[in-house]
Structure 1
Amino acid sequence: MSQSAVSTAPVKPAGVAERARPSLRRRTVEAAEKSWRPVALLLACFVAWWVISAAELVESYLVPSPGATLDVLLDKPDYLWQHSWVTTYETLLGFVIAVVVGVVAAVVMVYSSTVEKTLYPILLFAQVVPKIAIAPLFVVWLGFGITPKILIAVLIAFFPIVISMVTGLKAVDPEMLQLSATMGASPWQTFLKIRFPASLPHLFSGLKVAVTLAVTGAVVGEFVGANEGLGYVILQANGNLDTPMLFAGLLVMSLIGVILFVIVEIAEQLLLPWHASRRDGSVTTSY
């Protein structure tokens, strides 16, 4: 047999069988199977809310009906959108600053034990101090503008980012680091090619926690002193005993947190398709 007649098909490794990627229909079914439980729980909570309000088990000025809350959302969309955008802007800006500062701080702490021993107790102390307690100080120091809200969002989102990034950087296999040094890679090359990619799964776990906490931080800052934002809306509605508006503000705030969480989750899926947690539809399986 001539050499040109030899098949050029790739040889399959022993013990590995290929399977086709799941179809769109299959992925849709799997997504439905994963999401029906939380959807069912939310529906059950909504039904319980409706039953409690319809049966007048609680006074309407304490717990408004779903219909009254929906009427507020439909009657005042511009008002809620204006304040929602302010809170979202504060949240995103605080979250981005927390990510940049948190990642840099984590890298410095990992590469310098002196900095870690010095900085870690301070970070822990800053985390355990209730942000609602120090928020008035920021208002006194920085005024009633947007800066105190962003600063509180940074402080409340900073800690999970630092901790997750430090954990990820330290979780790298030591043999990989030894191999990198043996191959003559510089510390910067080792960081870019090995340490940083390996830390991304841990980092994204912290980012998903931090982005929801950033919403809370922005709203807490608005509670203390603001004339716009969802925190201001909720505070005004509470003072006026306008519970439908209060519930509408809470629902919108929760929706912002969920949307930001989903965005980070999608970014993780796009950037880390190789991670083990993303291999539900893997193309190979061992037997």
Structure 2
Amino acid sequence: MIQKRNSFLAPALLVFILLVTWEIAARFIAIAFILPSPTQVAMKLWELKAILFFVHLPATLLVILTGLLLSIIFGIGIAIWMNGSKIAEKAFYPIIISSQTIPIIALAPIFVLWFGYSLWSKVAVTLLITFFPITVNTYDGLRSSRQEIKELLLTMGASKRDIFFKLQVPSALPHFYSGLKVAVTLSVIGAAIAEWLGAQAGLGFFSRRMMNQFDGAGVFAPIVLLSLVGIALFLMVIALEKITLKWRKTK
């Protein structure tokens, strides 16, 4: 209990020190449109709570959740396909790797040209940025099952279906959750980039609008919300992992 309490207090104390330092530095510089203080950002969040929480936050969440859902569906599907077919592995794996060498900031305007300012231009960016960790981690997890256990199951008369569900899937689940933890944080970045470059609503769109008005606190307020969304999604994945992997021994 004491160790858990200390593990919580240490980061909380560090965050508190950083916020106090930021507050002092912002008040000393006194240029709110460039460096607003944490208290100014908090006041702006309270002032804009209606439009941020009921207009722009739902729009961003829709982009994030839609992109993540599609990434999970396609990522798991292609990982299973590559694991079961050498031809699929040779065909898809280089393309998956290549997709991450292109800067997302360069592709986002192209998606806007293709899909306009609709939901799908932003989902495409989020999908592209979250697809890689889910696919690669799941694929590596499927391949991580021990060969001697597979041979033992085969000698006991297990079918390919039995090997997949009773050996490969349990081996892949921890890897899948590792990829999902990375993907949920990247999804927030992808949605913000897409909304920044072309959108009619969303936290990234609102942050850009506030920048054009030289409102520093207004720029930081949606960024704080984006960070909280990323943290909340990450914690949800951790909770889901603990529920579904109770059989896994943890230190």
State the TM bucket, normalised to the shorter chain.
over 0.9
Taking the aligned partners of 2:99 and 2:175, their CA distance within structure 1 comes to 22
Q: How big is the shift at 1:30?
A: 4.0
Gaps of 5+ in 2: none
**Do residues 74 (structure 1) and 46 (structure 2) align?**
yes
Per-residue CA distance 1:72-97 (angstroms, 9 max, x = gap): 11111111112011111110111011
Larger radius of gyration: 1
Alignment correspondent of 1:85: 58
Counterparts of 1:1-287 in structure 2, within 5 Å, are 26=1, 29-56=2-29, 59-81=31-53, 82-276=55-249, 278=250, 280=251
Counterpart code for 1:64: P
Q: How big is the shift at 1:188?
A: 1.3
Taking the aligned partners of 2:228 and 2:152, their CA distance within structure 1 comes to 46
Q: How big is the shift at 1:205?
A: 0.5
Per-residue CA distance 1:97-121 (angstroms, 9 max, x = gap): 1011101111111111111111111
Counterpart code for 1:237: M
Taking the aligned partners of 1:109 and 1:34, their CA distance within structure 2 comes to 40
Q: What SS class does the counterpart of residue 158 from structure 2 fall into? A: coil
Q: How big is the shift at 1:54?
A: 2.2
Of Structure 1 and Structure 2, the greater helix share is in 2
Q: How big is the shift at 1:32?
A: 1.7
Q: What SS class does the counterpart of residue 189 from structure 1 fall into? A: helix
CA RMSD of aligned residues (A): 1.2
- Structure 1 ranges of 4+ moved more than 6 A: none
Taking the aligned partners of 1:248 and 1:83, their CA distance within structure 2 comes to 12
Q: What SS class does the counterpart of residue 128 from structure 1 fall into? A: coil
Taking the aligned partners of 1:176 and 1:68, their CA distance within structure 2 comes to 59
Per-residue CA distance 1:5-41 (angstroms, 9 max, x = gap): xxxxxxxxxxxxxxxxxxxxx3xx4432222222122
Tell me the matched-pair count: 250
Whether the 8 Å contact between 2:32 and 2:217 is mirrored in structure 1 is: no
Q: How big is the shift at 1:59?
A: 2.1
Taking the aligned partners of 1:38 and 1:86, their CA distance within structure 2 comes to 31
Gaps of 5+ in 1: 1-25, 281-287
Taking the aligned partners of 1:233 and 1:31, their CA distance within structure 2 comes to 38
